Homo-oligomer: A and B are copies of this chain.
Amino acid sequence: MTTSDGLRGAAARMPVTRRPVERIKEMIAEGELSPGDRLPTERELSAAFGVSRSSLREAVRTLTTLGVLEVRHGAGVYVTGLRPGDLLETFSVLAEISQGDTLIEVLQVRRMLEPAATALAAARATDEQLRRIGAILERMAEGGGEREAVAADLTFHQAIVQTTGNATLAAINDGLSSRTFNARVWSGHREAGQTARLRDDHQRIYQALLARDPDAARAAATMHVMEVERWLRCDLDREKGDRPDGTEQAPRPEPA
């Protein structure tokens, strides 16, 4: 009773729930299903795939989590826009539950992406986009609670990356700088000196964008990410061992 069914070798010993997942992904890749399309009802799909409705629902749940499908209660199952932002939404869990060294790694990646992205933004930004970024900066200057400050910082960087016009880049960057992540880095860093330093960083980035100077933008972004990295390292050290001596704030500087 095992492999006797006529299924081709590939789909033979596949968990039942996985079959609809692979098939639907395949249909999308082949163009049989397009963004926005509505799928048959769960009851019809389960019959079509020869699986129970429970299993079919788990398959749909998988594809929903991946950002491929979207379920509207009472209305049906739809293919999402399949835009990078849809497919990379899962990305944020990394920043959400990672700890210690992985957070450093995340910042190192941002140190590769954000300078390049900011430089690109400086070259491509329209007047309207620059105006919007400036507005965000003004809102940050107005102060507000820590929550608002974190949100505004996030919005500032997101706006810059969006200016590059690369939605994939924007989605990845969003994932690497999720709200949870930033809140963690920021916690305990609201002292006067650091807040001022942050504002300076942002101002320098903004000025470089205004001047449409990619090199300056790259440098400013690099400095900013490095600063955030320094804070994080400081925090991690404090957590690890409570050494009161403030030395070794930036251990192991990048060799390159």
Contact = CB atoms under 8 A, between A and B. Distances in A.
A57 B25 CA distance: 22
B66 A120 contact: no
Contacts of A90: 65-66, 90
B82 A29 contact: no
Interface residues of A, number: 48
A38 to B, nearest CB: 18
Q: Give the copy number.
A: 2
Nearest to A103: B168
B87 A98 contact: yes
A119 B256 contact: yes
Contact of A82 (B61, B98, B256): B98
A105 B108 CA distance: 21
A123 B98 CA distance: 27
A182 interface: no
Interface string A81-102: 0111001101101101110001
A98 B84 contact: yes
A37 B214 CA distance: 48
Contacts of A94: 84, 87-88, 168
Given A61-B61, A84-B102, 7 more contacts: A25-B93, A61-B65, A82-B98, A105-B167, A108-B168, A120-B255, A214-B256
